[in-house]
Copies of this chain bind each other. A is one copy, B any other.
């Protein structure tokens, strides 16, 4: 049994969709062989919430854990992908009647957007009741396919607070188009930023293939 790994991260490039008001992603040449340098190198400017990224509890909870205080075991293992192509908001009822596994990814119509689409305020997000059910069942990781797990300008940021207060790792900006509902190996590795509120990350979903 071999695993084929599918990249579910947003390619980082000039013009990629970013949160309104955030500085844009930039990669500019630092050294260029074409200009006589010994090697090609680049300088990067971005934020802890650019592209596919994780939120540490401290992002919204002043006394919450920083990124490097999270047990990295949560970065590895299986995840349930829930496919909700027709919802405008994810509510507790969309989570079904079965007990929830430790890691859940939500695929919605967000995954169909181009990576450089203008920012959409009507993206699909998780309502407070969905966040409460996830926290109550001690889910450890929640992944979504837009730049926030919470609705645009949500009153009191209840979704973020409920998840982060309960030490649920939030992964935002996944690209899940083409994947069907099911359980998959899922690996997400954030940059090792010390003391940070979150970090850009790279994420892959694994497809099991019988070797021939």
Q: A residues within 8 Å of B by Cβ?
A: 3-5, 7, 9-13, 22-23, 27, 30, 33-34, 38-49, 51-52, 58-60, 62, 68, 72-73, 75-76, 157, 160, 187, 189-198, 200-204
Contacts and interface: CB of A to CB of B under 8 A. Distances in A.
B62 A192 contact: no
Q: Is the interface of A mostly helix, strand, loop or mixed?
A: mixed
A49 B190 CA distance: 16
Given A27-B196, A41-B48, A202-B202, 4 more contacts: A3-B76, A38-B157, A41-B49, A41-B197
B189 A200 contact: no
Contact of A194 (B12, B47, B62): B12
A191 B200 CA distance: 7
A60 to B, nearest CB: 5
A45 B38 CA distance: 22
Contacts of A68: 11
* Nearest 9 CB-CB pairings of A with B: A189-B202, A13-B194, A40-B197, A189-B189, A9-B192, A11-B194, A42-B48, A12-B193, A33-B62
A70 to B, nearest CB: 11
B23 A43 contact: yes
Contacts of A75: 5, 204
17 contacts: A5-B76, A7-B192, A10-B192, A12-B193, A13-B193, A13-B194, A42-B198, A43-B46, A44-B48, A45-B45, A52-B192, A75-B204, A187-B189, A189-B201, A189-B203, A191-B191, A201-B202
